[in-house]
Amino acid sequence: MGKLGKKARKFAKKNLQSVLKRKRKIKSMFKKKASKSRHFEDQRDAAENEEENAELSARRNSENGDIEDMSLEAIFSEDESDEDEGDVDVDDSGSDGYLSEDSNCMPIAESEIHLGENGAAGKPSAQNQEILLELENKKKKLSRLKAKDPGFSKFLESHDKGLKSFRNENAYSDEDERSDDGMQSMDEDGPHLYLNKLMTSSAINSWCHLVKEQHNASAFISLLNAYRAACHYGAESTGILRSGSGAPILDCETFCKILMFVLREADDVFREMLGISSNCKRDTILGLKNNSKWKTVRPLIKSYLRSTLFMLNQATDSEILAFSLNRLRTSIVFFAAFPLLIRRLIKIGVHLWATGEETVSFHSFLILQDVASGFSSDCFDLCLIKMYKAFIGHCKFAEPALFKHLQFLRNSFVELCSQDLLRSSNKAKVSINNLSRILQLGLQTKKKEAVKKICSWQYANCIDLWVTYISHCIHDYDLQPLLYIIIQIINGMATLFPGPRYLPLRRKCIEWLNHLSSSSGIFIPVTSLVLDVLEYKVSKEVGKPGKDFNFSSAVKLPKHWLKSRNFREDCVFSAIELLSAHFAQWSYHISFPELATIPLIHLRKFQEKSDVESLRRVVKRFIDVVEQNIEFVKKKRDEVAFSPNDQQSVEAFLQLEKCSGNTPFTQYYRSVMEKAASRSLIMNENKR
Amino acid sequence: MGKKQKQKIILPPELPPEILEDEIEVSDEDLQFVSENRDYAGFVSRLDTHSITKHVTRVADVKEDDLEALYEKRLRKTSVVKENEDKGLQLDPVDALPVKTLDGKLYYRTRPKPENGGDENEVGGGEKGGGGNEGIIKLTKVERRAKLKKSKREAKKEGKKLSKPEEAEQAPQVAVLAEVKEDLTAEELFESKKCKLAELGMALLADPESNIKSLKEMLQIARDDNPSISKLGFLSLLAVFKDIIPGYRIRLPTEKELEMKVSKEIKKMRFYESTLLSAYKAYLQKLIASEKQPVFHQVVVRCICNLLDAVPHFNCCEILLEVVVRNLGSQDVVVRKLCCATIKSLFTNEGKHGGVATVEAVRLIANHVKVNNCQLHPDFVEVFMSLSFDEDLQRREVPDDKSKVKNKKNNKRKSIEEPSQLQQNERKKNKKELMLKTRKEVAAEYKAASLAPDVMEKRRMQTETISAVFETYFRILKHTMMFTAVSSEANASSIGGASGAHPLLAPCLKGLGKFSHLIDLDYIGDLMNYLKRLAGGGSSNDGPSQKNSNHLTVTERLRCCIVAFRVMRNNLDALNVDLQDFFVQLYNLILEYRPGRDQGEVLAEALKIMLCDDRQHDMQKAAAFVKRLATFSLSIGSAESMAALVTLKNLLQKNIKCRNLLENDAGGGSVSGSISIYQPYAMDPNLSGALASVLWEINLLSKHYHPSISTAASSIAGMNSAHNQVYHAILSPQQAFMDLLLERESFNSKSDTQKSSSKRKRGNGTSILANTELSSNMSGSIDENEVSKKLGDHFMLLRNIKENERLRDELDRATLSLHLYDEYKKQKKTASTKTKKCKKLLNA
């Protein structure tokens, strides 16, 4: 028992009376809440029911609801509010975990703790030093004054008391506001008092050793408490314990050691203690519930998980995040026992998934994936909804830099969706219906706001997301209705924005259609949409090549761009690329010659009229290749004897050749795509 | 007794000569009766001695021999006349307007007079009543629209409800107001003028005849310098005029008539009418003068439109018409819509003006089109669409048309006024019959005092209207053609505004389609030629070259085809015009059609009218269209595609042999035409050799994403050439088009969510992320040293923050304490002074 401990207590008695009062108050509150949390399961069920109801009503609302105030974000909105309630629940009932531990580890911790250096390793920052200097000056002055006039010191003391109580009130209100961003508000006083005693690296080392070699439970408990303190380090200092917060200073080494050790070893130790293998399922964890071992380990696990989650909230560095996420993932199975922690995990995971850098995002996705697949279907829904919302929130702008991340988000989301197609298709239906209603409003009213909503990155990205989803999953699940609706939506988008300024959007639409068509094997005519692109009326003055403009980062082109030569080129190249993608899909189909007839007529006309030699050459080449393919198909089909109503023979037509994929058109298509890729690459590089 | 007496006195001729008078005993009872009923006797004093003497003298003038006969005659007639005379207390009108009746007969002359007069009064009263009601309604409208001050209007309304007594009270008020007027400030002046306007208006509405002079005063106010006062004046006058203008056209008396002696009331009437007319004219002049000023433009046009709508029969309606027609193409949307609505209502409610205004309006429009060289707003011609031609009149014309065609088939006519000559022709033929009819009708019409002209007149006007309308239409067509011909020479300039170049063409074609049954047969040939050339994109002589077709949009050209077919269908057997060219045009236009740019409804209509409605087609042609439509539907949106497929199915049903296209019969078999190989790029359906082709498109179409299209395609594929099945009547292309239109799309998934048990619930293993380079190399390779280093940094950061916070906190406290010291000192001082004071007090 060191001096400092006594000192601190004295200090606390002297200066922190109001704090103690408050502590008592809070403890009584905890008791109430703890009693509440006994009905924990009931509550959870109720919450789930509520959520279901909310979702239902949300869906109903969005169906019957007022069309006018539709927005993309509005979807699933009632779930959100429900979840917030849930989070509050977490805070309330979750705090009992630590308190029960206190009595266990208190004596051990105290016995181990010994006096440490008050002076911290490492230099304080320059700013701190400045403040320190000023402080010293003022203190000197003050002491001088006190010495001069004893009456003043009395006055000061009396004044201090009033001040303190006032400040504490402030702190109260502060914490009420902060109640949702962590659990510190509730349980910080208890543990803090004894953690004021310092832990040195030697103590930590011995603990680590004990834990590693002997699986000493008590050492592990104190280690976990230290881990908790480390995780909360920094976050707590803002609280009321300001004046006493100088006490639990760890040095850098200790801090690292605690965190690294616990993160690295905790999972193994838990498994060791419970005697389960490293690849057990959720059911085994749930099965352990009545086990006596479980009862002792449960609080430890909970403390560990909570601390880690808290740190995930606090930390900003991507390496730390990635590491802790990765470690957390190994012990994700333990979350099964703490449904409310799962919610928090999902919340944090989604946040990191959406905002984090590559690795962090990836790791949090892995966690989300595990959560979604490993736990109840509610978790899956929750993940899905949260992720979708996060995606919507993040896809408002598309800069080239963000593009890749968005792509990752989209793909990972689809990946997650594909884990449970039944549920995800329900969600998709709701979302797509929402999109379609927005479009319908736009088509019917042609109002500016409605149309603006459609011609935005957010809308386009949502469509993109579901297009990817449908084309990825259409072979595994019956998504025909969704497919039909989304095709109609895309067609509606394309017809709603016919002008040349919307070339990028139009391009995107056609790309989606081609994508859907090739993945689902159905026929989606795009010819007329492509030909529009080819025949955009541009003013004659095709002069200077305009400034480089990245196609992929805009839905709508700036006006001046329309006059540049690049625009003309872009139109033609886009048309050729899109058409060849369309044709490539059907180049082995028996009706390819007819499919190509009308586009060819228009392309020939264009070739005659166009006065730009380079463009003419490109078009000419395309025409030649298509004609070649027409001849090829014609020749083959003249040889067959079946009629159009013989669907099976038609399906089998030219399948052999298709597999070999060596016809000139296929090769041409490949080259076109390569060129397009290189073109966009050059564009991007120019941009940089 | 009294009654008898009365009768005797009223009818002097019936009275026996003086001698008899002595014999009449005026008994006491009689005297008593008279004295008791002064009123009854009152008429005695009012007896028009003048007329009586006139009667008497006239009788006296007659020769002695005749006199007796005359008296006898009159006695005989009394029984007949009696009842009439009972009513006819007023004798004056009988004498006053002897000229008006055409018949010479006496009782004819006397009887209808009072009745007519009564009728007129009644009608007038009724109209007035109705007008009054209308006035109220319209007043409120006017009020709302013009945003007049409410107080004034309400006052007016009230004024209308309350009647004369109030009026009497107002008279002095007006006088007082006039006196005070000079002293008022500008604003008060404004108010007072408003009140004046309201009062005058009320007075006029309450009793137009006696207050007719105040019209001039109102006019004076309307001429005010203040535009808002003027506007108020215009609108008030409008309301007043709408109410008081009679249901007939006022004819001012000629000089001769003026010379004639007339009764007081006639004079009064004449005065009233002439005042009204001159005020009205002045009003119109003022309106037209201020129409040019932008401040007044809308108000004036509104006034004029309202007037034209309400009183198209009245004098000066031509002036109104002129203004309204001129403003049909106004830049101001409100004005334009207003004028259009007025003209349309003029056309639809011909009863109000008997068609005169219609003719005039149509003529004016035609002139405008001519003068402006067809560069006008489409609304100009659009209004023709609401013209309606009396079917009864038309029915009588139709047989004549036919007979005429039989008789004078070779007789070429050039002038457009031809139909009116025809009328004259017919007139001769049916003269007798018509005479009889006319007589009856005239009598009936006069009885009803209706203003409608006779049938002949009506017919003449209608013919005139028709000719003017078609003149306009033809002018537009001609102009469009000339324009395209000219610009095809200087092609480059006009490519930009293709649709803007012919603003009138679309409504013109629409109108031609609607009224095609009225076109004279002799013009149909020319019309078809025009249409042919327009459908070909300008000039058919050079063949449809690409440059020319730029000038007319696909929609317009399709419309031309539709109109041509409409015209042909409406005059079915009469003509032998080759429609082949239109098929060629359609065949090529299908290729140029582009959704979004062109109107799909028109395409569907063209398909319907040209391909579905015709009973029989040339086999080659049908096959060519079948093939083309199938190809077309491969490259177009679902709605157009569906329309094409419906047409295709229709064609296949009607042309059994075309079903060979569904069979892969090498070389087309027996049915293949002269051309053995299908040529998809041929311009002429007859030369495409489509019979040799196979409808492979159906296969691709059955994979179409839209369920209805894939079903339609499959059903087409199932059609068999062997059996001649009877197919159900299928829906029209237009219907099919509308059904599948995106705007109509409900976006409801076809709710047949069959639980697909066969499908896997869980996706297959292939991960969409598999190809992203992230996946594998990232999971394990996190450098722990790096992490611990970062953790250290993190810790340092946190500690610094913490330290900073702590230091700041202490600093704050220290400074606070220092500040407190000042406070402390102050307190101490006051305390010390207080104690000092206390001490002093104590000392004192």
Structural contact between residues A428 and A482, judged by C-beta atoms closer than 8 angstroms: yes
Same domain, B317 and B286: no
* Nearest C-alpha in A relative to B793: A252
The sign one gets for the Cα dihedral A141, A146, A151, A152 is: positive
Q: What is the mean pLDDT of residues B642-671?
A: 74
Q: Return the closest-CA partner of residue B248 out of B218, B269, B219, B227.
A: B269
Q: What is the mean pLDDT of residues B507-515?
A: 81
Residues in chain A closer than 8 A to B696 (CB atoms): 590-591, 593-594, 637, 644, 650
Q: Which of B124-133, B289-298, B430-439, B569-578 has the highest mean pLDDT?
A: B289-298
Q: Taking CB atoms and an 8 Å limit, are A408 and B772 in contact across chains?
A: yes
B25 — pLDDT class (breaks 50, 70, 90): low
Q: Taking CB atoms and an 8 Å limit, are A436 and B747 in contact across chains?
A: yes
Of A128, A408, A605, which has the smallest distance from its Cβ to B804's Cβ? A128
Same domain, B365 and B216: no
pLDDT tens for A650-669 read: 787 777 777 777 777 888 88
pLDDT of residue A166: 53
The least confident of A439-453, B403-417, B546-560 is B403-417
Residue ending a domain, among B702, B719, B745, is B745
Same domain, B150 and B287: yes
What value does the mean pLDDT of chain A take?
A: 70
* Nearest C-alpha in A relative to B680: A597
pLDDT tens for A145-164 read: 777 777 777 777 777 666 65
What value does the mean pLDDT of chain B take?
A: 67
Higher pLDDT, B6 or A373: A373
Q: Taking CB atoms and an 8 Å limit, are B662 and A317 in contact across chains?
A: no
Of B696, B814, B824, which has the smallest distance from its Cβ to A590's Cβ? B696
d(CA A453, CA A106): 59
Region of residue A245 (phi > 0: left; psi between -120 and 50: alpha; otherwise: beta): alpha
Same domain, B85 and B183: no
Burial of B724-753, coded b for 16+ CB within 10 Å and e otherwise, reads: eeeeeebebbbebbbbbbbeebebebeeee
Domain contains B465: no
Domain contains B415: no
Q: What is the mean pLDDT of residues A35-58?
A: 44
pLDDT of residue A321: 81
B597 — pLDDT class (breaks 50, 70, 90): confident
A552 — pLDDT class (breaks 50, 70, 90): low
Structural contact between residues A195 and A248, judged by C-beta atoms closer than 8 angstroms: yes
CA B133 to chain centre: 24
Higher pLDDT, B98 or B24: B24
* Nearest C-alpha in B relative to A249: B799
Same domain, B222 and B371: no
Q: Return the closest-CA partner of residue B461 out of B469, B365, B307.
A: B469
Of A256, A597, A645, which has the smallest distance from its Cβ to B662's Cβ? A645
pLDDT of residue A120: 39
End-to-end CA distance of chain B: 131
Q: Which of A319, A541, A626 to mutate to test the interface with B (most CBs of B within 10 A)?
A: A319
Domain contains B808: no
Q: What is the mean pLDDT of residues B184-202?
A: 79
pLDDT of residue B454: 62
Residues in chain B closer than 8 A to A422 (CB atoms): 761
d(CA B389, CA B531): 24
Is residue A524 scored above 70 in pLDDT? yes
Residue ending a domain, among B336, B358, B388, is B388
d(CA A521, CA B703): 8
* Nearest C-alpha in B relative to A477: B759
* Nearest C-alpha in A relative to B776: A362
* Nearest C-alpha in B relative to A586: B700
A52 — pLDDT class (breaks 50, 70, 90): very low
Higher pLDDT, A37 or A213: A213
Q: Which of A62-76, A313-327, A522-536, B798-812 has the highest mean pLDDT?
A: A522-536
Q: Taking CB atoms and an 8 Å limit, are A246 and B767 in contact across chains?
A: no
Q: Taking CB atoms and an 8 Å limit, are B699 and A484 in contact across chains?
A: no
* Nearest C-alpha in A relative to B804: A128
Is residue B615 scored above 70 in pLDDT? no
Residues in chain B closer than 8 A to A122 (CB atoms): 796, 799
- Beta-bridge partner residues of B598: B595
Q: Taking CB atoms and an 8 Å limit, are B798 and A482 in contact across chains?
A: no
Domain contains B584: no
Same domain, B158 and B275: yes
Burial of B761-780, coded b for 16+ CB within 10 Å and e otherwise, reads: eebeeebbbeebebeeebee
pLDDT of residue B692: 78
Domain that holds residue B820: 813-844
Domain contains B174: yes
pLDDT tens for B152-190 read: 444 444 444 444 444 444 555 666 666 655 556 777 777
Residues in chain B closer than 8 A to A642 (CB atoms): 664
Same domain, B741 and B652: yes
Same domain, B280 and B139: yes
B410 — pLDDT class (breaks 50, 70, 90): very low
The least confident of A33-42, B26-35, B773-782, B797-806 is A33-42
pLDDT of residue A137: 83
Of A528, A599, A644, which has the smallest distance from its Cβ to B694's Cβ? A644
* Nearest C-alpha in B relative to A359: B778
Q: Taking CB atoms and an 8 Å limit, are A260 and B816 in contact across chains?
A: no
Q: What is the pTM of this model?
A: 0.67
d(CA A316, CA A440): 43
Residue ending a domain, among B711, B745, B779, is B745
Higher pLDDT, A546 or B222: B222
Q: What is the mean pLDDT of residues B446-464?
A: 66
d(CA B195, CA B169): 15
Q: Return the closest-CA partner of residue B494 out of B483, B507, B505.
A: B483
Residues in chain B closer than 8 A to A242 (CB atoms): 805-806, 809
ipTM score assigned to the predicted complex: 0.70
Is residue B432 scored above 80 in pLDDT? no
CB pairs A-B closer than 8 Å = 294
d(CA B732, CA A13): 94
Same domain, B182 and B84: no
Is residue B644 scored above 80 in pLDDT? yes
Domain contains B542: no
Q: What is the mean pLDDT of residues B207-234?
A: 79
Is residue A350 scored above 80 in pLDDT? yes
H/E stretch holding A663? none
pLDDT of residue A9: 57
Residue A266 tokens read as 């905790």
Neighbours of B72 (CB within 10 A): 10
Of B635, B666, B717, which has the smallest distance from its Cβ to A528's Cβ? B635
The least confident of A82-91, A413-422, A506-515, B373-382 is A82-91
Structural contact between residues B592 and B632, judged by C-beta atoms closer than 8 angstroms: no
pLDDT of residue B47: 56
CA B405 to chain centre: 36
Same domain, B287 and B342: no
Residue B572 tokens read as 């079915």
**Chain A closest CA to B553's CA: distance in Å?**
14
d(CA B96, CA B267): 11
Same domain, B85 and B204: no
pLDDT tens for A166-189 read: 555 444 444 443 333 333 333 334
Q: Taking CB atoms and an 8 Å limit, are A532 and B641 in contact across chains?
A: no
Neighbours of A256 (CB within 10 A): 23
Of A363, A422, A443, which has the smallest distance from its Cβ to B742's Cβ? A443
Is residue B443 scored above 70 in pLDDT? no
Same domain, B285 and B372: no
Number of domains chain B contains: 5
pLDDT of residue A537: 64
Residues in chain B closer than 8 A to A162 (CB atoms): none
Per this entry, what is the length of chain B?
A: 844
Region of residue B704 (phi > 0: left; psi between -120 and 50: alpha; otherwise: beta): beta
B531 — pLDDT class (breaks 50, 70, 90): confident
B9 — pLDDT class (breaks 50, 70, 90): very low
Within 8 A by CB and 6+ apart from B538, the residues are B481, B484, B485, B488, B548, B549, B551, B552
The least confident of A118-132, A197-211, A605-619 is A118-132
% of chain A surpassing 70 pLDDT: 65
d(CA A288, CA B50): 133
